[in-house]
Structure 1
Amino acid sequence: MSWEYLQGVLVLFLVNSIAAMGVSLLTGFTGVFTLGHAAYMSIGAYALAIGMGRYELPWPIALLLAGVLASLVAYLVGVPTLRL
């Protein structure tokens, strides 16, 4: 096995671990079922891939923009949801 492959597997493991901890915190302490974590994580990952692939942005800038975009979408979904 090459180092690049192991590094890719480790990164995927860590990203999914962080997502699982977020869901565990929400469902474990409050009992609320959520699908929002997966949606916003996917929006951020997709925005990061487009930023680095199509627009050839450096990864720190693309990562920052992906986080901002996912946060903006979460805000736009969350504000009307709070009014329900």
Structure 2
Amino acid sequence: MSRRVALFLLLFGVWSWIIWITFVKNLWASDQSWAPDGSATGFFVVHLILAIVSFALGTIIGVIGWRGLRARRPAEREPTPAP
């Protein structure tokens, strides 16, 4: 994996967490999320599941990017052998 791809995946994972944390905060505060009796609505449940899946995928993608960057470090430090 190239350094550029690994960095993109890592940044995508971070971006995903930032976006979905904001989304969940807004979801929690929304009037559409709660029924008059205080229970969660279907809207809330569906969107919370969507957010949880997105957190998981963002984490997995970010870890792949992090591992890709770490795997390249030793290769970048080693001098190229002379012919």
TM-score normalised by L of structure 1: 0.35
More RCO (CA 8 Å, sep 6+) = 2
Max radius of gyration: which structure? 2
